[in-house]
């Protein structure tokens, strides 16, 4: 089942790239495997997945040693500062940096461990009260403050768009995130590039790709429905 799901997601990504006049290799599919057992991650790996997304530190730490070492792990969930030390040298990218203080902690731990950490700034583009992420207006100043920190590199922006039945409703939010990323890119800040735009989930990744996503985070579309997390 997972192999077929991966195939249809891949086809949909290809279709969206085609409509947007983009090359297929501009978009990375992140298989969001939270709550799913290692056996299913292994199936996705065998079907070609190399980028996996998890949203909890402990789950990430439990899964990493169980799976092949060429997997790029993406931390996509809310991250507490006291847990940063466990993951900085284990993940390819942290998508969920939403405060200067969190970035400071990542920088401090990265320096200690002698690694560079790629991060994205999580933006609450829709201004939803229930969501983490920086407000759009806060982001440029945050980026400037974080740019000066050693051993972290801002690579772009991430957003979790509202849940909706109609992905068209999120198109404007994806456009807003793209616009913010272009505005920041134009500032030419040292140590900052805006090459990554992590947006789009199972319900809306095609629209996100049409609007410029370079990473889509797909869970349900690959692994099936999840039980609700507490
Ligand atoms: C769970 C999750 C996803 C995947 O959601 P689906 O709708 O199952 O594709 C993507 N991004 C984040 C941050 C998530 O927590």
pLDDT tens per residue, range 193-230: 999 999 999 999 999 999 999 999 999 999 999 987 65
Q: What is the pLDDT of residue 195?
A: 97
Please write the tens of the pLDDT for every residue from 42-52: 999 999 999 99
Per-residue pLDDT reduced to its tens digit, 129-171: 989 999 999 999 999 999 999 999 999 999 999 999 999 999 9
Q: Which atom of ligand 1 is nearest to the CA of 203?
A: 7
**This model's pTM is above 0.95:** yes
Hey, what long-range contacts does 198-201 have (CB within 8 A, 24 or more apart)? Answer: 198/30, 198/76, 198/95, 198/120, 198/156, 198/157, 198/158, 198/159, 199/158, 199/159, 199/161, 199/174, 200/161, 200/174, 201/32, 201/160, 201/161
Q: What does the pLDDT read at residue 160? A: 97
* pLDDT of the residue at 227: 82
Q: Give the mean model confidence (pLDDT) for residues 168-196.
A: 97
Q: Residues 58-75: pLDDT tens digits? A: 999 999 999 999 999 999
**Nearest-angstrom CA–CA distance, 75 and 215:** 13
Q: Does ligand 1 lie within 6 Å of residue 212's CB atom?
A: no
Residue nearest to atom 13 of ligand 1 (CA): 76
What are the tokens at 33?
């495997």
Q: Whose CA is nearest to atom 4 of ligand 1?
A: 219
Look at residue 28 in the predicted model and tell me its pLDDT.
Answer: 98
Q: How far is the CA of 55 from the centre of ligand 1 (A)?
A: 9
Q: How many residues would you count in the chain?
A: 230
Q: Is 221 in the pocket of ligand 1 (CB under 6 A)?
A: yes
pLDDT single digits (tens) 97-114 = 999 999 999 999 999 999
């Amino acid at each position: 089942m997972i192999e077929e799901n991966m195939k249809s997601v891949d086809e949909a990504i290809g279709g969206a790239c085609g409509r947007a006049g983009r090359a297929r290799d501009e978009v990375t599919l992140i298989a969001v495997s939270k709550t799913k057992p290692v056996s299913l991650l292994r199936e996705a790996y065998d079907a070609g997945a190399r980028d996996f997304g998890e949203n909890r530190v402990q789950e990430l730490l439990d899964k990493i040693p169980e799976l092949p070492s060429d997997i790029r792990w993406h931390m996509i969930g809310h991250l507490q500062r006291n847990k940063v030390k466990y993951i900085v040298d284990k993940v390819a990218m942290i998508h969920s940096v939403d405060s200067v203080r969190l970035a400071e902690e990542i920088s401090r731990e990265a320096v200690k461990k002698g690694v560079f950490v790629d991060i994205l700034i999580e933006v609450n583009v829709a201004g939803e009260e229930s969501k983490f992420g920086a407000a759009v207006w806060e982001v440029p100043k945050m980026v400037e403050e974080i740019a000066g920190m050693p051993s972290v590199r801002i690579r772009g922006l991430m957003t979790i768009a509202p849940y909706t039945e109609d992905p068209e409703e999120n198109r404007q939010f994806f456009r807003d995130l793209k616009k913010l990323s272009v505005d920041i890119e134009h500032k030419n800040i040292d140590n900052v590039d805006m090459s990554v735009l992590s947006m789009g989930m199972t319900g809306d990744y095609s629209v996100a790709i049409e609007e410029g996503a370079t990473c889509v985070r797909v869970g349900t579309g690959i692994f099936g429905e999840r039980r609700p997390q507490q």
